[in-house]
Amino acid sequence: MSAVNFQKLPSVLVRGGDQSVTLRCDQDNSQNYYMFWYRHPAGSGKMELVAFSAGQDTASIEAPFNKTKYTMTRPEVLRTSLQIHSPEAADSAVYYCASSLGATSEAYFGAGTKLTVLEDDLYVTPPTVRILPPSKEIRKDKEGNVKGRTLVCMASGFYPDHVNMTWESDNIGKVSTDAAATREDKYYKITSRLTVSNKDWIEAKTKFKCIVNFFDGTKHIIKDDVFTIKPPLIPDMTRGKYVKITQNAKLSYTVLIVKSCLYAALVCFLVWKLKGKREKPTK
């Protein structure tokens, strides 16, 4: 039988030197006698088993995590907690709770709790959010059709990296967000890209909102920016008609230039012929 593991705190911020921090987890299957605590350090590709319990009131801490640093408690079959004493920067990681019927049975994981131990010389700083408009260059596919336009939302200058980015729009397109925030000097930045089809893009006054949810340790701070497609310059004209007219104008201008070049070439040829006749010696 499967189980659901509840980790009530998705994010936790503490200062280095605090006495301790406690992570809690509940499960809903009384037959799952085993419960585990794993951690996934940032930038690491592996899960590390920190502690496990084979039943109520029993727990073991795995090497190399010593018992003075981590303490696991299991007061009930359905409940456990992991206490980290004197947290420091090396303890920053995502901690996962899991449960199973036995030591070798399939384990069911919770959503994880991201723990960040704040650096002494830095303060919690919310992000600045800005949407960058798409490039003016119109890209086309192999068939000559206009590709979608891409908006880029950038959140920068924040610390720590407890953020979540989403887009809000009537015509939502394909979203691609960085897997994790990157650090430049002391602060973090992260970007998300929204690709909108050309059909949706030509609808005037459509708004696209980028929303960044930042956790400051006690509450969630919402920061956002809005990009609005500008209406056409001529009233009562759709953006599609405006684009069609400008494309036709470009084509007409190109034809005019070609005709002008041909006319200039013809004039030069006639002048050259006339000059040749004048310079021809008479008998």
Residues 246-274 have pLDDT tens digits of: 666 667 667 777 777 777 777 676 766 66
CA distance 114 to 241: 51
Domain 5-118 matches domain 128-228 at the CATH topology level: yes
Q: Domain map of the chain by residue range?
A: 5-118, 128-228, 234-283
Residue-level pLDDT at 234: 46
b/e per residue 104-134 (b: at least 16 CB within 10 A): eeebbebebbbbbbbeeeeebebbebebeeb
Q: Please enumerate in sequence order all residues whose Cβ is within 8 A of that of 250, keeping only pairs 6 or more positions apart, or say none.
A: none
Domain 5-118 of CATH type 1.20.1200.10: no
Q: Which of 58-72, 154-168, 192-206 is predicted least confidently? A: 192-206
Cα–Cα distance for residue pair 17/117, rounded to 1 Å: 9
CATH of domain 128-228: 2.60.40.10
- Both tokens of 236, joined, read 């009562």
Comparing CA positions, the residue from 212, 215, 159, 213 lying closest to residue 188 is 159
Tokens of 44: 């690491």
Per-residue model confidence as pLDDT tens digits over 20-65: 999 999 999 999 999 999 999 987 778 999 999 999 999 999 998 8
Q: Is the pTM of this model over 0.75?
A: no
> For residue 69, how many C-alpha atoms fall within 13 Å in the half-sphere facing its CB?
12
H helices present in the chain, as ranges: 198-201, 239-279
